[in-house]
Amino acid sequence: MWVICFVIDVSDNHLCHEVELKFMDTSTERERWQKKRQYSPRELELALNVLKAVREGVEVRQALRANPLPEGRGFLAKHTLVAAYRRMVETGEWEEDPVLLAKIRMKPIRTLSGVTTITILTKPHPCPGECIFCPSEAGLPQSYLSDEPGARRGVENHFDPYLQVSSRLKALHEVGHPTEKIELLILGGSWSAYPSDYREWFIRRCFEALNEENPLDDQGLVSLAEVQARNVNGLHRNVGLVIETRPDLVTLEGLLELRRQGVTKIQVGVQSMDDRILLLNRRGHTAEDAEAAVALIRAAGYKVVVHWMPNLLGATPESDRQDFKRLWRKGGLQPDELKIYPCQLLESAELYRYWQAGEYQPYSEETLISLIADVKLEVPRFCRINRVIRDIPSPLVVEGNRNTSLRQDVALLLKQRGQQCQCIRCREIRYGKVDPETLVLTDQVYRAGQAEEHFLSFNTPDDKIVGFLRLSLPLVETTPTIPDLHQAAIIREVHVYGQSLEVGSEQIGAAQHIGLGTQLLQEAERIARDRDFQRLAVISAVGTRNYYADRGFRLGELYMRKSL
């Protein structure tokens, strides 16, 4: 049994009481969650009946209804089916059946993008920004609220990175999701503003949780590098590591540190490309700062996620439409991924006082849906829109939009207009089957920052995207001094879509594991060679090093490289 102690050092007794209450609330929820996963013999017997029926071709919902719980208690939850399935496999009575598991897993969309993502929250820490729109809550990182799902898991685990990762791995396994390929998404505000020793410790503990080692952090001095080395062939390999920061905190020195720590993707809070809006909202940086930061991130080979906020103080729907166009200027930001976070009026933000004074007015839900529908049409095919709204519970919103399912309403409006968003997320293969013989390889070329970008993608005849590669051809005279990247074309991302599969497993018609990644790498190599680059570099996650090594890449100081 683990005994875990933690100390919250605060001088404000009221704050201490609030934090204590949050932990009590979440402990009760955890106990309730654990109770739901204690199965009676009768429940397991019913689950086995359901599984047998599904194996024989009966639809899952129909099989569940044919095997109701006794005493009118409804029907079995899917996690009960997963538990019964795993017991049958563990006892050797059944062979592993990926097709059956895919049918019974809960929320399969969580891993349809090809990887399993785990979100972790850092501890509360002062933010260097003074943004008037940013909410605050005692005992949480700046801009995060305890009622948001990701934040609640952080609070529940006392912001301990090991506990957050290990508990999430357990939960994902219990509902049927593969956990061999894990993307870690570190949230909590500006990562670069935290002390360097905390950043190092936090990431080391994340990797130790993936490796299922050193649970009590009591093994003396352990280096991050040796923990990462064990993860290369670990139980839960890290295939992506994401942090978030501000444009004014991006430096070459910081990017090199992030690379050593295994980071592969950086989220940047740009919020607006209008200096007047940035100044009014006391953002603390300019649009030029944002362009310079994103260009430097791209030159170092990272994937770039930009946050954009409509409805800030001083903005109008029309000014927001014009501002959105600035994200896609030739040679400008051109982000790989985008999170649209409409400004939401919360009582804890300074913006609330502007609203009270009649100086700020939130957009209505109808106005916001129309605006997002309009700007989605501007998004290039190489970009993925990850979000169009934050998961802020509606009771916390003072005025304006309270609809957290905005994406569905935007999609409905576009359908009614006869229009379609071309972003990656709207074209992912998801549940579709793949016939490799019918796929078409395309190369979308565009200028971003100080590089010529090639977005290579495999698409189905009906324009569903199955896999892609981001190849950056830097302008030699502007490339930062990074030895591994000298005279190198840079692969910033390789991604094959479809339900995340366990390493070594196959599923008929699934996109993963049919060689598309290898073909994309070969095409990138051809383009780089034709453009006279001497080497091809890739920003590899720790857990994908073997994949690239099998394809001729060798580990350099910070990147994997291949001579051309």
Q: 118, 181 in Cβ contact below 8 A? A: no
Q: How far apart are CA 157 and CA 167, in angstroms?
A: 8
Look at residues 180, 172, 176 and name the one whose alpha carbon lies nearest to residue 81: 176
Q: What are phi and psi of 388, to 5 degrees?
A: -125, 5
Task: Copy the structure tokens of residue 459.
Answer: 């698409």
From the CB of residue 180, how many other CB atoms can be counted at a distance below 10 Å? 17
Residue type (1 letter), 362: P
- Contact in structure between 300 and 348 (CB atoms under 8 Å): no
β pairing state of 181-187 and 265-271:
unpaired
d(CA 553, CA 373): 42
- Give the pLDDT of the chain (564 residues) as one tens digit per residue: 333 333 333 333 333 434 444 444 545 555 554 555 678 888 898 989 989 888 988 888 888 989 999 888 888 888 888 888 888 888 888 988 888 887 887 665 555 555 899 999 999 999 999 999 999 899 999 889 888 877 888 999 999 999 999 999 998 888 888 899 999 999 998 999 999 999 999 999 999 999 999 999 999 999 999 999 999 999 999 999 999 999 999 999 999 999 999 999 999 999 999 999 999 999 999 999 999 999 999 999 999 999 999 999 999 999 999 999 999 999 999 999 999 999 999 999 999 999 999 999 999 999 999 999 999 999 999 999 999 999 888 899 999 999 988 999 999 999 999 999 999 999 998 777 788 999 999 999 999 999 999 999 999 999 999 999 999 999 866 556 799 999 999 999 999 986 444 444 444 445 555 799 999 999 999 999 999 999 999 999 999 999 999 999 999 999 999 999
DSSP characters for 262-313? T--EEEEEEE-S-HHHHHHTT-SS-HHHHHHHHHHHHHTT-EEEEEE-SS-T
Encoded tokens for 458 = 């495999």
338 pairs with which residues across the strands? 306, 385
The runs of H, that is alpha helices, within 37-137 are 41-55, 60-65, 78-90, 98-104
Burial 451-480 (b: 16+ CB within 10 A, else e): bbbbbbbbbbeeebbbbbbbbbbbeeeebe
With tokens 């030699």, the residue in question is 476
DSSP letter string over 392-409? --GGGB-SS---S-HHHH
Q: How many residues are recorded in the chain?
A: 564
How big, in percent rounded to 5, are the helix, strand and coil portions of the chain? Answer: 40, 15, 45
- Which residue in 164, 171, 169, 163 sits closest to 216, CA to CA? 163
Q: pTM, whole model, 2 decimals?
A: 0.85
| Alpha helical stretches, state H, 157-299 | 161-174, 196-211, 224-231, 252-261, 275-280, 287-299
Query: Locate tokens 């290579």: which residue?
Result: 456
CA gap 525, 535 in Å, rounded: 9
